[in-house]
Amino acid sequence: MRHSLALGARTHAGASQRRRTLKIDVDGRVDGATQIPSPNCDERPPETEVSLIVVHGISLPPGRFGGDAIPRLFTNRLNRASHPYFASIASLRVSAHFLIRREGALLQFVPCAARAWHAGASAWRGRPSCNDFSIGIELEGADDRPYTGAQYRMLSRLVRALAARYGIREVVGHSDVAPGRKTDPGSRFDWRRVPHLAGPRR
Active site residues: 138
Question: How far is the C-alpha of 177 from the C-alpha of 114, rounded, in Å?
Answer: 19
What does the DSSP assignment read for 133-154? TEEEEEEE--TTSPPPHHHHHH
- The CA–CA distances, whole Å, from 70 to 7, 45, 158, 173, 199 equal 30, 27, 20, 19, 31
Question: How far is the C-alpha of 99 from the C-alpha of 71, rounded, in Å?
Answer: 9
Cβ pair 192, 4 in contact under 8 A: no
